[in-house]
Amino acid sequence: MKEEEIRPGNLMAENSKLHAKDVAEILIRRKEFKKIACPACESKKQKFAFKKDGFNFAVCLKCGTLFINPRPSRELLADFYKNSRSIRHWSDKIFPASEKQRRSQIFYPRAKRIIGLCKKFKIKNGVLADIGAGFGTFCQEVKKLNFFKEIIAIEPSKKLAQVCRQKGIFVIEEMAENVNLEKIDVVTSFELLEHLFWPKNFLCALSKNMSKNSLFILTTPNIRGFDLLTLGELSNNIKGPNHLNYFHPGSISLLLEGCGFEVVEVLTPGKLDAELVRKKILQDDPGIFLNRPFIRHILVDKWKSVGNSFQHFLADNNLSSHLWVVAKKK
**Interface positions with Zn ion (CB under 5 A):** 38, 40-41, 43, 60, 62-63, 65
Closest CA to 324 of 220, 226, 244: 220
Find the Cα–Cα–Cα–Cα dihedral 29, 34, 38, 39, rounded to 10°: -80
State the nearest-atom distance from the C-beta of 254 to Zn ion, in Å.
8
Cβ proximity to Zn ion: between 41 and 266 the closer is 41
Residue type, 254: L
State the nearest-atom distance from the C-beta of 284 to Zn ion, in Å.
35
State the nearest-atom distance from the C-beta of 12 to Zn ion, in Å.
32
State the nearest-atom distance from the C-beta of 96 to Zn ion, in Å.
39
* Interhelix angle 199-209/249-257, nearest 10 degrees: 50
Cβ proximity to Zn ion: between 63 and 94 the closer is 63
Q: How far is CA 282 from CA 4, 112, 143, 285, 303, in A?
A: 15, 34, 41, 8, 12
Q: What are the counts of helices (DSSP H) followed by strands (DSSP E) for the chain?
A: 14, 13
State the nearest-atom distance from the C-beta of 64 to Zn ion, in Å.
7
Q: How far is CA 57 from CA 18, 32, 46, 228, in A?
A: 22, 17, 10, 14
Cβ proximity to Zn ion: between 38 and 181 the closer is 38
Cβ proximity to Zn ion: between 60 and 315 the closer is 60
Cβ proximity to Zn ion: between 65 and 230 the closer is 65
Cβ proximity to Zn ion: between 65 and 137 the closer is 65
Asked if 243 and 221 count as a contact pair (C-beta separation under 8 A), the reply is: yes
State the nearest-atom distance from the C-beta of 247 to Zn ion, in Å.
9
Q: How many CA atoms lie within 13 A of 242 on its CB side?
A: 19
CB within 8 A of 14, min separation 6: which ones? 89, 93
